[in-house]
Structure 1
Amino acid sequence: MTEHELATLGGGVVAYIKTLTADEASRMFPTIEGLPKGINLFSLHAADGTPLALTDTRQAAIGHAIDDDLEIASVH
């Protein structure tokens, strides 16, 4: 499998959720201002790593995935 094929695998169908610090979230989502320091946030990403949503709970990130008909993959 080529690097490009791997990057597009699951495109539009599969997503994953990542836990971020407020600092990491600020870098990944630069248009969002005023994130409180010292909390964990949850980002929903497309299979290729594109950030789709930022939430304050894992359940909300799961809800975004369900609303967008995305299957959540476990990433280790």
Structure 2
Amino acid sequence: MKTADNKQHDGMAAEIMTTADLASWGLPIVAYVRHQGEQGAGSWTIHAADGTTIGAAPDRATAFAAVRQHELEPLSVH
């Protein structure tokens, strides 16, 4: 890794994370759960780390259970 003065530090990676790397970060291990609709109504959608909708559920608990059933780690989106 280079510092502000452009010197390489020993033991640090020389490569920088690309935009594609950042977009796919967490893709195989996490799913995001988000409420859709008005407060108190609506459903819960499940999204892959890249934002792709991969499912829906009638309530938060069911959404989290579905994510865990597919061996992913559920995270809430506020």
TM bracket, shorter-chain basis: 0.5 to 0.7
Unaligned runs of 5+ in 2: 1-16
Per-residue deviation at 1:39?
Answer: 2.5
Corresponding position of 2:29: 13
What is the total number of aligned residue pairs between the two structures? 61
Please, what is the CA RMSD of the aligned residues?
2.0
- Give the whole-Å Cα distance in 1 for the aligned partners of 2:65 and 2:74: 11
Corresponding position of 2:51: 49
Could you report, residue by residue, the CA deviation over 1:15-38 in whole angstroms, capped at 9, with x for unpaired residues?
11011118xxxxxxxxxxxxxxx8
TM-score using structure 1 length: 0.68
Corresponding position of 1:68: 70
- Give the whole-Å Cα distance in 1 for the aligned partners of 2:60 and 2:66: 10
TM-score using structure 2 length: 0.66
Runs of 4+ in structure 1 displaced over 3 angstroms?
none
Higher Cα Rg, which structure = 2
- Give the whole-Å Cα distance in 1 for the aligned partners of 2:24 and 2:46: 16
Question: Which is richer in helix?
Answer: 1
